Amino acid sequence: MMVMIFVLVLTGFMTNVEAAYPVSTDPMRVKQTYLDMIRVDQAWAAAGDSRSPIVVAVVDTGVDLGHPDLVGSLVEGVNLLQPGKKPYDDNGHGTNVAGLIAATINNDKGIAGIAPNAKIMPIKALEADGTGGEAKLGEGIKYAVDHGAKIVVLSLGLNKYSDYLAGVVQYAEDHNVLLVAAVGNESTSVKYPAAYSTVLAVGGVSPDKKADSRSNYGPELDIMAPWDVYTTALGGGYQYQDGSSMAAPQVAAAAALVLGKYPAMTAYQVRSQLEQTAQDLMAKGWDEKTGYGLLNIEKALTEPYKQDRFEPNESANQAASLPNHTAVRANLSSGQDQDWYAIDATYDGYIQLWVQPEESGQIRVNFDSGQSFVAGSGASDGQPFTVAVTKGRTYVQLENVDRTRKTALNYALRTDFVIYTDPFEDNDKQYKAFTLPARSQTIKGTFHQKGDLDWFALPLEHSGTMRVRLSTDTGRIDPMLLIQKEGEKATTIDQAGDGGMEVSSLMDVLPGQYYIRVSNMKDYTGPITGEYTLEIEYTPKLVDPNEPNDKSYQATFAAMNTGYEGLFSTNDDLDWFEFRLTSNSLAQVRLTNIPTSRIVYATLYNSSLQEQGTYRSDGSTELNFEKPLPEGTYYIKLQANQWFMSQMYRLQLNSYGLVSGYVDIAGHWAQSAITQLTEQGLISGYGNYHFAPNQSITRAEAATVISRALNLSKRKELQFSDMTTSHWAYADVAKAVQASIVDGYPDGTFDPDGKLTRMEMAQMLARSMNMTGKKRGNSPFSDVSESYWGVGILKQMSADGWISGFPDGTFHPEDRATRAEFVTLLAKVVNR
């Protein structure tokens, strides 16, 4: 297991006080233009009169211990490769790094280091060729922590995750030592150790303040610094260098200046201070290409530290961008405060969220998907909230459970992301191989768990030729490809490196079963956030297996959820298929793998061959349509505008039982109520044959449904600050307000998109029946106290048989009401 340092891939609280460090007069300062980008002169002027020495460990190839610009800035280090010997640099990379941090200022020699108060601890953990083992890297970090270093800079990295290094990184965090690492220079995923959430991950920008195209990026990226530098070199010299490994020590030096002025700061606070004072380069806040922006040391030394750097973020449109792999801290200033975050996912998968209140209190975590959790409740402490997400943006809202709280509630928040499980699982064994259709195709897969292997079976009925390609979109996958014909010797292809492409030769294939195994290098453990692409180029002697099917009476029977392939051998060729529906259903027809140069027509007929619809692909490679149909037998006729035999189209039919026009209420406990109100014209679904019975109902939806169900006519002009006349539900809400069925909040809002609670649902329906609530008698539910604001309503509705709660005797009044729950209770009211 080798660690490759980035030099091998290089292309060549706070107020201003009297300056402690003068402007540099070093003769080569003129070549250090990158210092102006990060405002070093201004930072020196703002550094104050504190010269607290800060030890910065450089875990690298060693340091030129006799360099005239470094000799005064060194403390004793260690040579881990040759114990007992000095950590001399035999590569040059470590010397490059050290000079950027602590080259002596104003000594009439060479350049100026960024942090005059920094002392370099040279730790030689890498060989002269820039390679090294994980064990030595971890040992180097631990040595630095145990021997007084406050900052460790790691201008090195590798693509694979390591449990061992993760433990060492946590050891540093536990001992309040800041780790700073380079992200890498391959235009791909952030390397480790920079990718660990408590390591300050540094990318590089060009002189025009744009991310260098080679700088790695992703959810782990934190901050940027200049890519091109002029620094100390072996033999007492100086040289130009570039890469993210040159950007990282600039950030480490900035951290040394901050710690020198504010020695009480923790490693987390220094990390946060550098991030929150960085100069935005793209969108405001964090983004995956430039992190929190360009290092600005002046601001890091002059702007007050913010305990909650994400404010203002009290609403969805103010949501703070948050990486899906990070650890931060913030607070809710009071019971009325709420914090919104926007988390982007590059793939479908699962967002994991750890929320830990730092003192007594509970925080409700609401996802825009409708899922809600409570942190600080005891049982869930330390456990992540896991929510399935699709590629794109997810919004998360944090709010106090105790809305009356007067004091701030600090919390720690950590995010992570787990990529989706590909649709071919479980196929980790050859006998579980996922069977692919015998044609040319491109599929995407994932390594969603540790040790994941993906086996595919390709049953070929015709001889021909085949070539297989395997590529990835991340450097964290070193792909391996195995191809085997059943009963014969396998061929393994592993020629490319991390993130490369493996390609087989053009093979002659005979009829039979072929196996393809896709895997990652053994030491590259999952789960991996990234996809591989498997391309199979298969050219057979194509034969339509369904012929003859040119007439309706020759139609090929098509079972549901099964794929059928065909082709058009002449311009007059017709392909007929028959299918049957055993109940009223939504029939879905999917035709794929159509050549882009062809148009395919599909005509739907009933059992009497009466046309039910005609559809066309219009030059697309797919033709998809759906249609609600009664029980019976149906036919589909396919025809192309011109023959094609170079590839086979694929036809698949699916059906979903329809109940009252919906595909998602059959067998649901609320089916009867939903059907009843739908048939009465009082409710409707979402226009895609879905009712979504288990989805939370919003306040605007509830008001609209009840207004229409009760046929309300009078309406009152609304004065809510968050609801104008252009709102889709304005008229119905106005009617419900006029009828005193609903009202707004004391702050003058209605919150139309807010989720209705079960108590609000009970109150609305009680008001519709002019119930005012009983005050006598005991609470009917174990989780509703006598002091609860809605206990009277619940007493009366329970006593009159309108509500019954849950089997365990609870009511969960503050839980969100579902559409099914609301409709069921409304049906009782309408038909009372």
Q: Which of 26, 69, 73, 93 is catalytic?
A: 93
Q: Please, what is the angle between helix 134-146 and helix 163-174, to 10°?
A: 10
Contact 267, 225 (CB under 8 A): no
First-to-last C-alpha distance (Å) of the chain: 74
Rg (the chain; Cα; Å): 33
Q: How far apart are CA 500 and CA 521, in angstroms?
A: 12
Structure tokens, 187: 């235009």
SS3 566: strand
Structure tokens, 610: 């009466």
Which residue stretches of 190-343 are H helix?
244-261, 267-276, 297-302
CA distances from 308 to 62, 269, 272, 410 (A): 39, 11, 10, 9
Structure tokens, 490: 């396998």
Structure tokens, 804: 């019954």
Q: How far apart are CA 453 and CA 261, in angstroms?
A: 52
Q: Which of 447, 475, 446, 472 has its CA nearest to residue 188?
A: 475
Can you spell out the DSSP letters for 360-427? S--EEEEETTS-EEEESSSTTTT--EEEEE-SEEEEEEEEESSTT--S-EEEEEEEEEEEPPPTT-S-
CA distances from 395 to 344, 355, 376 (A): 9, 15, 21
Q: How far apart are CA 355 and CA 412, in angstroms?
A: 6
Structure tokens, 131: 């390679």
Q: Which of 368, 358, 292, 353 has its CA nearest to residue 331?
A: 358
Q: How far apart are CA 765 and CA 736, in angstroms?
A: 11
Can you spell out the DSSP letters for 32-85? -THHHHTTHHHHHHHSTT----EEEEEEES-B-TT-TTTGGGB---EESSSTTS
Q: Which of 162, 189, 197, 245 is catalytic?
A: 245
Q: How far apart are CA 427 and CA 360, in angstroms?
A: 46
Q: Is 184 left (phi over 0), alpha (psi -120 to 50) or beta?
A: left
Tell how far CA 287 is from the center of its chain: 12
Q: Please, what is the angle between helix 699-709 and helix 758-768, to 10°?
A: 20
What are the backbone angles phi and psi of residue 88, rounded to the nearest 5°? -70, 145
Q: How far apart are CA 296 and CA 308, in angstroms?
A: 19
Q: How far apart are CA 508 and CA 502, in angstroms?
A: 18
Whether omega before 22 lies within 30 degrees of 0, making that bond cis, reads no
Residues in the chain, how many? 832
Compute the C-alpha angle 190/195/199, nearest 5°: 130
Q: How far apart are CA 629 and CA 763, in angstroms?
A: 41
Q: Check if 93 is active-site.
A: yes
Q: How far apart are CA 221 and CA 683, in angstroms?
A: 48
SS3 433: coil
Q: Which of 60, 422, 664, 732 is catalytic?
A: 60
Q: How far apart are CA 559 and CA 564, in angstroms?
A: 9
Contact 326, 219 (CB under 8 A): yes
Q: Check if 212 is active-site.
A: no
Q: Check if 462 is active-site.
A: no
The catalytic residue positions are: 60, 93, 245
